[in-house]
Every structure is written in C-alpha cells, then in structure tokens.
Amino acid sequence: MDELLRGINNTKNTRVVGAVTTDLVTEACRRHELEGLDAVVLGRALTAGCLLATLTKNDDERVRIDMRGQRRVQQVLIDAHSDGKVRGLLTTRPGPVPVPDPDAPAYRTQVRHLVGGGQAVVTRDIGLEKEYQGVISLDSGEIDEDLERYLTNSEQLPSVMACEVELDGHGKVVRSAGILCQTFPGAPAAVLEPLRDFVRDGGLADLLRHERTLEEVVGFALLGEGYEPMERRGLEFHCPCGRARALSVVSTLGAADVEQLASEQDETTVTCHYCNDDTVLSKADLLELAARMRSEMS
C-alpha cells in the first residue's frame, strides 16, 4: 500500500515528507501503457505532486503541475490532492521510447534528454479565495530538481526534493518513492546541503535498489536523524471521471451539436485523458442533455 508520512526532525528545524508511490505509479503507467524512461518521467512527476500537496493541513488542498518540454516530452499534467488522491498523464511527441543516455552519470536514471528545456506551471489551491500560481523554466530537465528550485525561488521555501522510479530489465516499474525536506523560518538553509549533495549523488536511487519501508525512506531524508511523525496518509491513483463529467465535456459543444451527435450514432464514447477510462453515453443521454441545456438557456 502506498503511503505518505510527514514529520519534524528532532532539532525542530526541518519539515520532512516521505512517500512510497510504487502502486500508484504502476497503475498510472498501466493505464497509459508506459514503460522505460516514459514511465520514469510520469512516475517522478506523480510522486512530486503527492509531496507538494502537503503544505497545509487542509483536506481540500490541491496542486496542479503543467510541464511543457521541448523534446520527446510534450506535456506532463499532474493533479494531486491533500487526501492522497493523484492522477496524471504524459503526452509525448512521435518516436521510439529513448534508451538511457550512455553518456549520463550512472548514479541515477537521467530524463533531461527527454525534456530538453521548456517550462512548468505550478498552481496551488489551499482553500483561499485565490489560487497561487508560479512559473519556472525546466533548466535541468530533471523533474524533481526543477520543482525543488521552484519551491526555493518562487515559494521562498528552502527545499530538497528527490523522486526516483526504479525499473526492471523490461522497463516496468519496480519501486517508486520520493522525499521533500524544507527548513522552517529562521533555520539556516545550509542544514539541507548534506542531504542535497547525497540525493544528487544518487542516494535515494541506491536506497530503492531494494524494497524499503516508508520509515526507511523518511529516515534517509533526514540522514539518520530522529524525527517526530506528524501525519500518515494513504496514496492512490484516482480519477473522478465518470458519467457526470463526460456529460459536462459533451455539453461544451452546445445544444445543437449535441443533438446532431445523437442523430449520427447510437452511442458516444468519451475518453478521459487522465486515466484512459471510457464512458459510453447513449442517444437518450445526449438528447436529455440537449433538452436540459435548452431549458437552462430559456
């Protein structure tokens, strides 16, 4: 079972969040038929979304990440909620799935050559009147590194973020996890430097060569320092699509076009891009929708 754990280190100067995301990343890759480096890209982004949706204790906190790359990765969309539900998709440009870069350092799987620059938009909804939105360039192309820089520069929260996805010899997801450490106001940002050096040298990747518990992941994030656990929650790939949302999508066509669609075929299939599930709407469903739309306009 995937879980996320939040805590505070014993010296009370660092907030830590650790997450094991193997099942949800595996489910997302199954739904989108991803493997290899494509699976690593989506898996890291999903894990990052889970970690980012922990700024407050609100149950309605939501984080959306929209990344636009310039090479194979065209777009990554992540929608993460503080209740542990997350969904996401990866859109790629045509071409074969790249193999690992032979010239890249061996300490962690590199995906920068799939991204190749671009930008990411991070939107936070923490239950206030207005959402907060920040934009950052994808300078490194490594998803966790760029989002770490976003936290430090745009949200003024000195941070270390690392997200890793381990694959088997067939390109399938074996393990996935992530960590986020942030200093509290007044604490020197330098306290994070040993951890930053460790994860950039592949420390989390090395940890995930074998099965790990959530407690081991959090312990790694604090380099062995003790901590006080604050909150534990389950994580899952979840998409709220269904008949109501499918009807909402079709309604954007307008009443006349919905009626035309109903006249052309007995069934209309609406596919959710986030989860690849199909919702089938009957002719009667569409005619009822069109009638309701006309009634609301009158």
Distance between CA 88 and CA 21 in Å, rounded? 13
DSSP 65-100: EEEEESSSEEEEEEEEETTSEEEEEEEE-SSPPPPP
Architecture of domain 243-297: Alpha-Beta Complex (3.90)
* Residues 6+ positions from 195 with CB-CB distance below 8 Å: 160, 181, 221, 222, 223
Position 102 pLDDT exceeds 80: no
Contact 25, 222 (CB under 8 A): no
Which residue has tokens 């008949």? 243
Q: Using CA atoms in the order 97, 101, 102, 105, what is the torsion angle rounded to 10 degrees?
A: -150
Q: Which tokens hold the place of 117? A: 């620059």
Superfamily in which the 3-237 domain is placed by CATH: Hsp33 domain (3.55.30.10)
The residue with greater pLDDT, 29 or 247, is 29
If one compares 165 and 100, the residue with the highest pLDDT of the two is 165
Confidence of residue 108 (pLDDT cuts 50, 70, 90): confident
pLDDT of residue 106: 63
Please compute the mean of the pLDDT values over residues 44-64 and round it to a whole number.
91
Model pLDDT, residue 88? 97
Cα–Cα dist 163/45, whole Å: 8
pTM, full prediction: 0.92
Question: How is 166-214 classified by DSSP, letter by letter?
Answer: EE-TTS-EEEEEEEEEEEPTTS-GGGGHHHHHHHHTTHHHHHTTS---H
Task: Look up residue 267 and give its two tokens.
Answer: 């069934």
pLDDT score of 211 = 92
Alpha-carbon span 116 to 110, nearest angstrom: 12
pLDDT tens sequence across 67-98: 999 999 999 999 999 999 999 999 999 888 77
State the pLDDT confidence band at 189, using cuts at 50, 70 and 90: confident
Tally of residues, the chain: 298
Question: 14 vs 9, 249, 271, 288, CA distance in Å?
Answer: 6, 44, 43, 55
DSSP 143: H
Using DSSP's 3-state secondary structure scheme, residue 53 falls into: coil
Question: Facing residues of 9 across strands?
Answer: 227
Question: Are the C-beta atoms of 147 and 80 separated by less than 8 Å?
Answer: no
In this prediction, residue 103 has a pLDDT band, given cuts at 50, 70 and 90, of low
Per domain, the residue ranges of the chain are 3-237, 243-297
Retrieve residue 71's tokens. 């090479």
Please report where in the chains the tokens 């290899």 appear, as a residue.
36
